[in-house]
Amino acid sequence: MELPKGLAGVVVDQTKVSSTKNAILTYAGYPIKELKNAPFEEVVFLLWHTRLPNADELKDFRKLLVSQMALPYETVQLMARIAREPQHPMSILRTTVSLLGTTNDVERDDPPRILAKMLTAIAAIIRIRNDKPIKHARKNWGVVENFIYLFSGKRPTAEQVSMFNTVMVLHADHEFNASTFTARVVASTKSDYYSCLTAAVCALKGPLHGGANEQVFKMLETIRETGQDPVQYVERRIASGQKIMGFGHRVYKDGDPRAAILREIARKIAHETGNDPYFVLQERIRDYMFKKTHLHPNVDYYTALIYHCFNLDRQTFTTMFAACRTAGWLAHIIEQQAEGCPIRPSSEYVGQTNRHYLADKEENSID
């Protein structure tokens, strides 16, 4: 039996949520390039129902999500303690999601309620870590506008909402990636939504998945702070066998379509926030990496700079990824639980055989 590394290309199930077939990302059949400016709430509805909402449905759905963007009192009290611990924000989020499962009426597997609570919890983690008071959602604002307000404490401009909306849409789902597949495995056992989401957060935390955006900006900071030439820095890392985060993708060999969209947002917001030097660094590294390795930037590469321009600490970047991807996780959880069949693959055993306990015990005994 020969299996591709990391199960690359192995089809394990069917889905109506999203696809990367032929290296084209689609949500329920719609190309991501056509959805990039669609309201986040509309895209969430699409992922959950595999159809677009009409005007009244979208209005009601947005109102429902915003109405649920408040955390239970018990959750806030406990978060105020754990969020100040010297742990990575993703570790805090992992515990918070599990905590929500005990304080947020776990008998109600209600996707809108859960997504809204996740967004608010992530914003609250950021506020508490910065010793800032937790903000409360404004009922007349949209989900993205509220989310930015909840983590920043300031009402964003219409342009900022538009840019961040696109970021959230592009990150909302991506077929059977590691965290989504993890959520589906747990969902297949008919476990509750919070258990599924906790497992997904654990998978997303890894630097080879969601944590890559943090590593991208760490690289940019190191280059700027030490005054190194970016090309020489990358050359040394490659020569020493180290991975350059933010480049290459298992599916998109000719370039991640999300990165192309995010590049223009990164360029614009970097200029508007006085972060042009970071974008210049990224472009020099981008050009060199293509010349040297023929690898293109992926979704993490430009997202890192965008998050920085929203005054987010790089350790919180992956929690932003989780905020966006929760929409897709929930879509896959809903779909998987409807199948009613636990995921239980087989494996090929390659260890020793024909061993016998008593014989080996006797042989290894000491006189």
The yes-or-no answer on residue 313 being catalytic is no
Element (H, E) at 80: helix 73-82
Length reported for the chain: 367
**Angle at which helices 111-129 and 73-82 pack, to 10 degrees?**
40
Smallest CA-to-CA distance from 36 within 212, 167, 229 is with 167
Q: Residues 126, 149: contact at Cβ < 8 Å?
A: no
Q: Which of 171, 174, 249, 296 is catalytic?
A: 249
* CA–CA distances in Å: residue 350 to residues 1, 7, 347, 353: 11, 17, 9, 9
- Count of CB atoms within 10 A of residue 296's CB? 20
Find out whether 317 and 215 touch, Cβ atoms under 8 Å. Answer: no
Catalytic residue of the set 171, 173, 174, 300: 300
Please, which residues have CB within 8 angstroms of residue 32's CB and are 6 or more apart in sequence?
A: 25, 26, 169, 170, 257, 258, 261
The b/e string for 172-200 (b: 16+ C-beta within 10 A; e otherwise) is: bbbbbbebbbbbbbbbbeebbbbbbbbbb
Task: Report the alpha-carbon distance of residue 175 to residue 17 in Å, rounded.
Answer: 7
Taking Cα atoms as reference points, which of 266, 169, 151, 176 lies closest to residue 213?
266
- The closest alpha carbon to 343, from 181, 113, 163, belongs to 181
Distance CA 92, CA 128 (A): 11
Residue 173 designated active-site:
no
**Whole-number Å distance between alpha carbons of 97 and 330:** 13
Of 299, 23, 334, whose CA–CA distance to 180 is shortest?
334
Beta strands 18-19 and 26-27 are antiparallel
CB 359 within 8 A of CB 213: no
| Active site residues per annotation | 249, 300
